[in-house]
Amino acid sequence: MAEVILKNVTKKYGNIVAVDDINLQVNDGEFIVLLGPSGCGKTTTLRLIAGLEELTNGNIYIGNKIVNNIPPKDRNIAMVFQNYALYPHMSIYQNISFGLRIRKTPKDIIDKKVKEVAEMLGIENLLYRKPKELSGGQRQRTALARAIVRNPEVFLMDEPLSNLDAKLRVQTRGELIKLHKRLGATTIYVTHDQIEAMTLGDRVVVMNKGVIQQIDKPKEVYDHPLNNFVAGFVGTPPMNFIDAHLEKRGNDFYVKSKDFQIKLTPKQAKKIEEANLGSEDITLGIRTKDFYLESDINEEQRKTVVKIVINIDFVELMGAETFVHFKINDSSTIARVSAGGDYAMGESMTLYIDISNIHIFDKTTGNAVL
């Protein structure tokens, strides 16, 4: 396997900048996920690494070798596409072995490798069927087998699970995790599905408008987003954003809105001081999980919660949990609460905000301050 390094990589289509001066190092054996909305540049980045798009500027290294001018077939990478890209007229055996056959690998070695990989992925009984006779999950495994059998230095995967139904996506994510642990392969995986990103990635690269917004472990991206784009994109439901005012009184800081007031902890106040903020407008971020019913608060949390009374706009029953929709300071807000309660539209409800987990973003730049 090999590491992949992107240095000042840019891709332009005329005046449109699809990838804007990005720098990224993917370590040998790492599973890294490029995450972002449609049009953010993640697939273009993957295609640049594969050699399917020509660089406008910058350098790409695979295994310490610059590959800018090396054609895709000589980069020792394997790509798994969203639509599987199987040859419909070939059997599954022929599809898997295609890359080996064009490299004139001896037939006995081809046969051994194809059968080993097919057994690994549970498709050994399908080798002599055509793609049209397979389910979506079986086609996806075939595409993976075709990539694995070549034993490339790097696997590139472009939303390979997006055509599967929800149940099969969950199952296949688990299979991909096991497969990566078994192969130890350097893998770069593109998706717009944050659940896939959080489940699969050793690290997640969040992109927007061709720019990398944050690179970190999945939990760090969720718990400590660097800006309000990352905070709003990662998490289901997304983080609640509320217009508020930061007020300094002596050595203390308060976050005020029309509906409540929060006194920041000394640790939080120190961070605000370090960011050189005073009394000014800010954006307050609260995750749905950081609202509590009184019955759900433990003794430790009682030191860091603020009480608010809200009017319920509507309720989403999700089985094991319930999402309550309401407004704070005229901002649409969602709280996740336990499913056992009886909540009704139009009723008032008492909730508690855990202030130890709130986020504060600069109103102008969108960058995280707290």
pLDDT of residue 329: 87
Does residue 143 lie in a domain region?
yes
Choosing from 170, 199, 233, the residue where a domain stops is: 233
pLDDT of residue 82: 85
Q: Does 220 share its domain with 292?
A: no
Residue 359 pLDDT more than 80? yes
Q: Does 266 share its domain with 187?
A: no
Q: Does 268 share its domain with 147?
A: no
Q: Which residue has the higher pLDDT, 11 or 278?
A: 11
pLDDT of residue 84: 84
Q: Does 247 share its domain with 183?
A: no
Choosing from 233, 265, 297, the residue where a domain stops is: 233
CATH number (domain holding residue 292):
2.40.50.140
pLDDT of residue 54: 96
pLDDT in tens, 130-140: 999 999 889 98
- Rounded to 5°, angle at Cα 112 from 109 and 113: 85
pLDDT of residue 50: 97
Q: What is the pTM of this model?
A: 0.93
Q: Which residue has the higher pLDDT, 81 or 19?
A: 19
Does residue 326 lie in a domain region?
yes
> Of 151, 138, 45, which is closest to residue 84 (Cα–Cα)?
138
CATH number (domain holding residue 94):
3.40.50.300
Q: What is the mean pLDDT of residues 80-109?
A: 92
Residue 18 pLDDT more than 80? yes
pLDDT of residue 40: 97
pLDDT of residue 5: 98
Sorting pLDDT into bands at 50, 70 and 90, what band is 259?
confident
Residue 167 pLDDT more than 80? yes
Choosing from 189, 215, 233, the residue where a domain stops is: 233
The Cα-based distances of 91 to 163, 308, 320 in angstroms read: 21, 63, 44
Residue 244 pLDDT more than 90? yes
pLDDT in tens, 279-324: 899 999 999 999 999 988 988 888 889 999 999 999 999 888 899 9
Number of structural domains, the chain?
2
pLDDT in tens, 38-93: 999 999 999 999 999 999 999 999 998 999 999 998 999 999 988 888 999 999 99
Q: Which residue has the higher pLDDT, 176 or 59?
A: 59
Q: Does 220 share its domain with 244?
A: no
Q: What is the mean pLDDT of the chain?
A: 93
pLDDT of residue 171: 86
Q: What is the mean pLDDT of residues 253-265?
A: 91
Q: Does 135 share its domain with 276?
A: no
pLDDT of residue 197: 96
**Tokens 């009394």 map to which residue?**
279
pLDDT of residue 123: 93
> Which residue range(s) make up the domain with 250?
240-362
Does residue 367 lie in a domain region?
no
Does residue 131 lie in a domain region?
yes
